[in-house]
Amino acid sequence: MPSKKPKGRPSHKTPPADKHPLEAPLQSFVDQMESLREAAPLAMFLPIAVFRKSRADISELMKKQDSSAATKRGKTFHPADLGKILSQHREFTRAREAIKLIPPSFFVYLICIYDDLVHSIVEKTISSYPDRFFSQAPGKNDTPKTISAELVLEANSLNELKELLYEQEINKLAYGHGLEPLEKLGKQLNVALRPRNELTNKLLEIVERRHCFVHFGGCATAKYASLCQALSISPQPKRGNYLDISQKYFNETIDVLMELGICLAQVVWRHTGTTKPDHISDADQWLINQSFEFLKEHKHQLAVNIINESTRNLETCQKPEDRLYLLINKILSLQGLGASQDVTKLLQTIDWGTWETASPKFGLIHAALTCDVDKATALMKKLDKNSKTFDNFLIIDVYRTWPLFKQLRETTAFTEQFKATFKEPLIQEKPPTSNQPSANKTTRGAQS
């Protein structure tokens, strides 16, 4: 009879062969980070509203007090008014505390999400590629892996012993302070996982600030103050100062942890996927899609950083077309940052003649990047006659929404050519809102 698996122990199952094990946890990490970015301001809305209302109510009750009944200890109130004032004061105090507690609570949870991703990367990598951790390759200098007698006695079967070994290795690599997990995993995989110095310094500050909130009520410790001084972080706090979590700092923390998490997962993904070309291609596609999302959200620096740090060398891309699209996303991000010199250099590295010979869509891409309106409108006519799609997207939506065509959308020639081709304006009119009813009520249901 098979033994029961101990409760609470994670199952280290190998993911489906067609998907790399890091794809799902990485996407979940990005979604969680972005959800907190959107949720934090909403979470602050209610306590701020209660705070303002209770303060206004207290002020109104104070105005109704009986000023004639004054004593040496101050003014007195009607019992009914006094009860209301005390009740409003409790609401006021609790709302004030909520306003103080919500930002650091969200901040601390951001780091929990990042730590969970690091744990998932270690766990998925060990369970999917155990030979990278448990086999002794010839010439390897690491000490041989050993199994303790206690571990053997604890296991009731070979499968359970395997899971215990995985769990032991995960605990050894995934837990640590700051950069420790990255350094340990990088050493085990023989790949550099240390981020650039600027990102490293920001991570150290974030982790130490989290420590201040978790253990010292949000007050700066001597260690945190000396770290800020060593890293030239301004303003430099003094020991005992309360550390504020502003909206700006909160969003910057998300960007730092997002870049770190994405780049870490991408580097490990590419390193462990070298034996399966489809896995490298999947990593390229994921990075293209995510950098495109950042472009649409005007997070240009984040898009540039994840492309630079994840690939390190774009020649590692599995397909030349994927490499081109990553370069295009990088160029668009640099344009958004106003880095015109870097844009010119990157454009010169691409053999546009070869690409345009392969497909006219690449000519349109080149025209859009250089804002060559005449060439773009001529190619629009050619493409629209032959195809209604652009990389499997409806071409009419591509022209309207993609950041690639942002500069062209601002020109008269492009908008006129769009209207001539599609028989409708480039910029669609918004449908009337509920308080602005449509003039033709009979068609309202069809438009909704």
Determine how many CB atoms are found less than 10 A away from the CB of residue 396. 17
Lowest mean pLDDT segment, chosen from 98-107, 169-178, 204-213, 333-342: 169-178
* Residue 19 vs residues 189, 205, 226: alpha-carbon distances, Å: 20, 35, 45
Is 270 buried (19+), middle (13-18) or exposed (0-12) by CB count in 10 A? buried
Q: What is the pLDDT of residue 33?
A: 96
Spatial contact of 376 and 414, defined as CB atoms under 8 Å apart: yes
Backbone angles phi, psi at 240, to 5 degrees: 95, -15
**Both tokens of residue 436?**
């602005």
Report, as an integer, the average pLDDT of 188-200. Answer: 81
Coil/strand/helix, residue 130: coil
Q: DSSP per residue over 276-298, as a string? A: -HHHHHHHHHHHHHHHHHHHHTT
Q: What is the pLDDT of residues 234-246, one digit of tens each?
A: 888 999 999 989 9
Q: What is the pLDDT of residue 308?
A: 87
Q: What residues contact 332, with CB distance under 8 A and at least 6 apart?
A: 295, 300, 303, 369, 403, 404
Q: What is the pLDDT of residue 202?
A: 93
Spatial contact of 369 and 329, defined as CB atoms under 8 Å apart: no
> Nearest to residue 63, comparing CAs of 73, 77, 51?
77
Average pLDDT of the residues of the chain: 80
Pairing mode, strands 70-71 and 74-75: antiparallel
Q: DSSP per residue over 293-317, as a string? A: HHHHTT-HHHHHHHHHHHHSSGGG-
What sign does the CA torsion over 343, 344, 349, 350 have? positive
The answer on pLDDT for 275 being more than 70 is no
CA dist., res. 146 & res. 384, Å (int): 65
Q: What is the pLDDT of residues 130-161, one digit of tens each?
A: 777 766 554 444 555 666 666 666 666 777 77
Helix axis angle, 360-370 relative to 373-386, nearest 10°?
150
